[in-house]
A and B are shown apart, each in its own frame.
Chain A
Amino acid sequence: MDDLLVDFLTETNESLAELDVALVRLERTPDDQLTLSLIFRLVHTIKGTCGFLGLPRLERVAHAAENVLGRVRDGELAATSAIVSAVLAALDRIKEIMAGLAEAGAEPAGADDALIGALDTAAAGREATAPSRDTDLPLAEPPLGEVTTPAPREGADAVVAGQTIRVGVDVLEDLMTLVSELVLTRNQLLQLARNEQNSAFAVPLQRLSHITTDLQEGVMKTRMQPIGNAWNKLPRLVRDLGHELGKKIDLVMRGAETELDRQVLELIKDPLTHMVRNSADHGLEGSEERRAAGKPETGRITLNAYHEGGHIIIEIADDGRGLSIERIRAKAQALGLASEVELAAMSERQIQRFIFHAGFSTAAAITAVSGRGVGMDVVKTNIERIGGTIDLKSTQGAGTIFTIKIPLTLAIVAALIVEAGGERFAIPQISVVELVRAGLAGEAASDQPVIERINETPVLRLRDRLLPLVNLRELLGLGAAVGVAREFYIVIAQVGSSLIGVIVDRVFDTEEIVVKPVAPILRHITMFSGNTILGDGSVIMILDPNGVARASGSAGNGESRKPLPATAETMTSAARTAMLLFRVGESAPKAVPLGLIARLEDIPRERIETSSGQAVMQYRGRLMPLIPFASATLAGESQAVLVFSDGTRFMGLMVDEIVDVMDEVLHIELGTETAGLLGSAVIGGRATDVIDTDYWLRLAYQDWFRAGHDPHPGALAPHLLLVEDSEFFRQLLVPVLVAAGYRVSAVESAAQALRLRAAGTRVDAIISDIVMPDMDGRAFARAIREDGAWRGLPLIAFSGRAEPADIAASRQAGFTEHIAKSERDKLLATLRDQLAPVGVESGVGAESGVAP
C-alpha cells in the first residue's frame, strides 16, 4: 500500500470519529451552524480526497452525504433525526469500505445504490417535514466565545501541523521502559550516597536525580491522552441504543480532557463502553416508566472523570431505576453463590456487589444490546488487572453510580514496603487505607485498636468496625512468629468494598516502584501481582490485596466459619430474631433461629447413604449424620437439609421444604409436651412450632456438648438477657448460649433492656457489655440494682477489657462478675455456678424413639 493511501486512511479515520460526535451534537442542536459547517467540511474533504485517489465507491457515498448536508447547511432542510440517521448510515458505509481498503489496498466490491437512493431522497426533502430555517440565519456570526470550543480544526491545525510529528507507539513504549530502568538506577545510587557522608558525588547525583524525575514526567506526558479519546464513540453508541430501545437518553460527559496513560486508556475503553451500554439498556427505564415514576422523560447517563491523588476517577452514573436488591438476591441464590442464610446476613451493598460475579445478569429479558452473560465480571476483572478498583452505589428508583479508580500509569506505582517472616513485600498504595498499631484485647491502651479472637479467628476492632484479619506470615507460609507479640502492625487494605487487616512484622517507607510481571512459572500464585527491584537493588514481590483476601477466605477450609456478616456493618431491627421457617408433613410450620444454622443444603437423594441404620452423607470430607425431623417424608429427588455445626462437626436435619426466613420479635409460649419442640410462637401471623435444636443435635451426637452437661432438659431452661450493642457479638454469643441450653433474649441497648423490665419480662440472669452508647453497662447495673424485679439477679459484665481496675469498677456498680470477652468458657462456667442448682438427669437419650 502506498504512503499516500496510508495517510488517507489515518486521517479519514480521525475525521470519522469526529464526525460521529459532531452529528449527534447536531441532532440535539439542529441550529448549531458551527457544528454543521464542521460536518460539511469533513465530509467534503473525504469526498475530495477520494476523488483524487481514485476511490469511486467512497466518493459516491461521500458525495451523496455531502449533498444532504449541503442542503441542511443552506437552511433548505432541517437536521431531523431521519436526516442524521441517513448521514450516519453513510458514514458507516464509508467505514466499511475503508476497512476493506486497509486490508486489501483496494476498495471492496459492493453496491451502494440503496444507500445513495435513501440519501438522495433525504436530500430532496421528501422525508423532511420541518420548514426551512432562513429566519434563524443571523446566527451566521456567532458570539466569539463559541468560536474556539467545538471546532478548533482548521485554524488550530494549520499552526500545530508543523509542530507535531507522528511517533510509533512502540518507540514510546521503549522510552518508558528505559526511563523506568533509569529511575531504578537513580534510586539505587541515592541509596548508596545516603550511606556515605560528604561524598563528592552528592551534588551531581542530586542533579541527576532531578533530571531523571523531569525526564520521567516528560516521557509519561508523551503517553498521556485525554480520556475523551476513549469516549468519542459513546455519543453515537448511546444515540443508536436510544433508537433501538425506544428510550430517550442524554449523555453528559464531564472532564473529557482529563489525561491518563494511553496503555491504561486502551485497557479501560472496552469496560467503559460496556458499562455505558449497560446503563442505557438496564439502568434507564423507558419513557413510559419514567413518566410514571415522576422523572423527566429523557434519561441521563453522566460520565465524569477527574484526577485524585495519582489516580483517575471515572464515574458512570445513570438516573434510572437502580439495582433491584430483591432480584439480585434471588439470582445469587439461584446461582448458588450464597445460601439464603448467608444472604440474610448481608448488607445491601454486599448484595449489590454480586453483579460483579461471573454469569450474573439481572435483566429479566436478554436483549440484543446487553445481558449476554458476560458482563460486569469481565469489567471488574479488566479493571482489577490494571490495579484499579470498581465500586457501585445504587438507590432503587434513583439510579446507579459506578466509580472506577485507576492508576494514571501502570509503569510506576507508589507502594508501601512491609516485612513479614524476614522477607519484604510491596503493597500498592492504592489499596492501602490506613496503618494501625493494635494491641491484644485486655491490654491495649484505651484508644488503641484491639485484636480480639472469635474461636481461633482474630478480628480487629477498629473504632466502630470489626475487620477480618490475616497474618501475612502465616498466609505465605513463612513460619510462626518467635515469641508472643504484644503489638501488631496492621495494614488496612481495601478489597472491593470491604476492608481487610493484614498483620505484618514491620512497616517501612513507601517507595515508587516499577511493576514487572512475575515469571510464568510463578503466575499461579495469585497472591502476587508482580515483582520489582527496590532502591537497594533487592528484588521483592508485590502483594495483590485481592489475592490475599481470596486466599484467606479459603484458608480456614470454611469449616469453622459461621455465616457471620463479613464486616460489622450494623443491621437493623436488632430486637428481632431471624427465624428460618420450614415445613414437615401437613402440620404447622416449624421455625428455628437462623443464627443456629450453618448452611442450607439441597442434597440429591443418591448422596444419602446408610451406615449402621443411620442416614449419613459425605459432607466436606466427613460423614455427617442426617436426622429426619419427626414425620419428614424423605421422598423426591432431593432432600432439603438444615446443617448445624459446632465448628468441627456437622449434623443435618432432614425436612420436607424450606419455606422462608422471617424477622420476628419472638415470644415463645413454652410448655409443649412434644419432644423436639421448644414451644410455639406467632411468626408471620401464623402459629409456628419453634424447634428445640438441642434435642436434635443430641440425637445425632450423644456428646454434642463437649462438657457433657445437659443443663436444662425440657422447657425449664433459664432465661438470659444479653445486652450488647455490637450486632456482631450478639450474633456470636446467642448461639453459644442457646447451645449451652439457655433461652436468650438479646437487646442492643440498656434502654431496651429496661423496657423489657418495665414490661414484666422474667429473666434469670443478665449479661451486659460495658462500653455502649447512651447508657453504659455500669450505669445499667446501677439502675438494675436500685430497684425493680431484677434487682437480685446475677449480673455479669462481659467486656473487651478486664484489667483489675475494670473489674473493681464493675463490682462497685453492682455486677456479680466481670469477664473478658475472650473468655467464653469462663462465662459459661460462671452462668452454671450462678444459676445452679439446675439440671435434673437427662431423659433425652431414652425417649429418642424418633431416631431412625
Chain B
Amino acid sequence: MPAAEAAGADEERVFVTLMLADQLCGIPVLAVRDVLAARNITRIPLAPAEIAGSLNLRGRIVTAIDLRRRLGLPPPPEAASRMAVVTEQGGELYALLVDQVSEVLSLAARDFEHNPPTLPMLWASHSAGIYRLPGRLMVVLDVGRILALTAAQ
C-alpha cells in the first residue's frame, strides 16, 4: 500500500526510476538490492514466458523477469542493451529486466494518485499508483505483484 494515506502530505518517498517502452516507472528504493547490466542470462527451458532466465550475481543465482513481457509490452529492439534491477522476496533474488535505469528521485506524497480506472488491466494490476512529476507521470511498480507469477501455468 502506498504510504501516502497514512503519512502526511509532505513525507517524501524515494524511488529508483526506470524506463519501459518510453514509460517512466519507479520502484521503491528500499526494494532494490542492486542494479546491473543484463548480461549472460541463461535461458530456462519450459519456464513461463515472463521468465527471461537466470543470472549470476556474485555467486547467487538470480531469476530474471522480463518486465516488458510481464506488462504485455512489445519486445525491445534487437541488440538493445538492457538493465536489471535486483530485488528480493522470500529470501530469493529476482532481477527485473528494464530498458534503462535512470536517476533516484525523492517524491512527496502529495503528488501521489491512485491508478486511474482507465489504466490497462496488466498495468493496473502491477502498479501501486501514479506520481505526478513535472511534465510527466511515473508509474509505481508493485514488486510483490510482479513477482507473483503463478507456478501453475
Residues of A within 8 A of B (CB): 181, 184-185, 421, 423-424, 476-478, 516, 519-525, 527-528, 531-533, 537-541
Contacts and interface: CB of A to CB of B under 8 A. Distances in A.
Given A519-B63, A519-B94, A520-B92, A539 B47 contact: no
A476 B56 contact: no
B96 interface: no
A537 B54 contact: no
A488 B51 CA distance: 31
Contacts of B55: 539
B46 A539 contact: no
Given A521-B151, A533-B61, 20 more contacts: A423-B43, A476-B45, A516-B61, A519-B92, A520-B90, A520-B92, A521-B48, A521-B51, A521-B149, A522-B44, A522-B151, A524-B153, A525-B46, A537-B56, A538-B40, A538-B42, A538-B56, A539-B40, A539-B53, A541-B42
Contacts of A516: 61
Contacts of A476: 45-46
11 contacts: A423-B42, A424-B42, A521-B63, A522-B44, A522-B151, A524-B151, A531-B61, A533-B59, A539-B53, A541-B42, A541-B44
B152 interface: yes
Nearest to B93: A519
A539 B152 contact: no
B46 A181 contact: no
B92 A533 contact: no
Nearest to A524: B151
Contacts of A537: 40, 56
Contacts of B147: 521
Nearest 9 pairs of A and B residues by beta carbon: A476-B45, A519-B63, A524-B151, A539-B54, A539-B42, A521-B149, A525-B46, A539-B56, A533-B56
Contacts of B48: 521
Contacts of A539: 40, 42, 53-56, 61
Interface in B40-81: 40, 42-48, 51, 53-56, 59, 61, 63
A785 to B, nearest CB: 56
Interface centre among B53, B56, B149, B153 (most CB of A within 10 A): B56
Contact of A520 (B45, B54, B151, B152): B151
A77 to B, nearest CB: 59
A525 B53 CA distance: 13
A220 B153 CA distance: 39
Contacts of A531: 54, 61
Contacts of A524: 151-153
A475 to B, nearest CB: 8
A477 B45 contact: yes
A638 to B, nearest CB: 33
A478 B45 contact: yes
A592 B8 CA distance: 85
A531 B62 CA distance: 11
B46 A540 contact: no
Contacts of B51: 521-522
Interface centre among A519, A523, A524 (most CB of B within 10 A): A519
A769 B95 CA distance: 59
A527 B61 CA distance: 18
B150 to A, nearest CB: 8
Contacts of A184: 59
Contacts of A421: 45
B61 to A, nearest CB: 5
A525 B63 CA distance: 14
Interface in B91-110: 92, 94
A481 to B, nearest CB: 15
Contacts of B45: 421, 423, 476-478, 525, 527, 541
B57 to A, nearest CB: 10
A521 B51 CA distance: 9
B3 to A, nearest CB: 27
A549 to B, nearest CB: 15
A594 to B, nearest CB: 37
A181 B59 contact: yes
A520 B45 CA distance: 15
A540 B43 CA distance: 9
Nearest to B54: A539
A532 B149 CA distance: 22
B41 to A, nearest CB: 8
Nearest to B48: A521
A818 B5 CA distance: 86
Interface centre among B47, B90, B147, B153 (most CB of A within 10 A): B47
A522 B63 contact: yes
Contacts of A520: 90, 92, 151
Contacts of A532: 61
Contacts of B151: 520-524
Contacts of A522: 44, 47, 51, 63, 151
Interface centre among B45, B56, B90, B153 (most CB of A within 10 A): B45
Contacts of B56: 533, 537-539
Contacts of A533: 56, 59, 61
Nearest to B42: A539
A545 to B, nearest CB: 16
Interface centre among A478, A516, A523, A533 (most CB of B within 10 A): A533
B46 A477 contact: yes
A185 B42 CA distance: 19
A173 to B, nearest CB: 15
Contacts of B44: 522, 525, 528, 541
Contacts of A424: 42
Nearest to A523: B151
Contacts of B54: 519, 531, 539, 541
B112 to A, nearest CB: 30
Contacts of B92: 519-520
A524 B153 CA distance: 9
A83 B90 CA distance: 55
Interface string B113-125: 0000000000000
B141 to A, nearest CB: 17
Contacts of B152: 524
B123 to A, nearest CB: 21
A528 B53 CA distance: 14
B146 to A, nearest CB: 11
B43 to A, nearest CB: 6
B8 to A, nearest CB: 37
B36 to A, nearest CB: 13
A808 B59 CA distance: 62
B152 to A, nearest CB: 6
Contacts of A478: 45
B92 to A, nearest CB: 5
Given A184-B59, A521-B151, A524-B153, A540 B42 contact: yes
A563 to B, nearest CB: 28
Interface centre among B44, B47, B55, B94 (most CB of A within 10 A): B44
A676 B51 CA distance: 58
Contacts of B59: 181, 184-185, 533
Contacts of B90: 520
A531 B92 CA distance: 13
Interface centre among A478, A521, A524, A533 (most CB of B within 10 A): A521
B95 to A, nearest CB: 11
Interface centre among B42, B43, B53, B63 (most CB of A within 10 A): B42
Interface string B17-52: 000000000000000000000001011111110010
Nearest to A525: B46
A537 B47 CA distance: 21
Contacts of B47: 522, 525
A541 B43 CA distance: 9
Nearest to A181: B59
A523 to B, nearest CB: 6
Nearest to A540: B42
A477 B63 CA distance: 20
Contacts of A181: 59
Nearest to A424: B42
A477 to B, nearest CB: 6
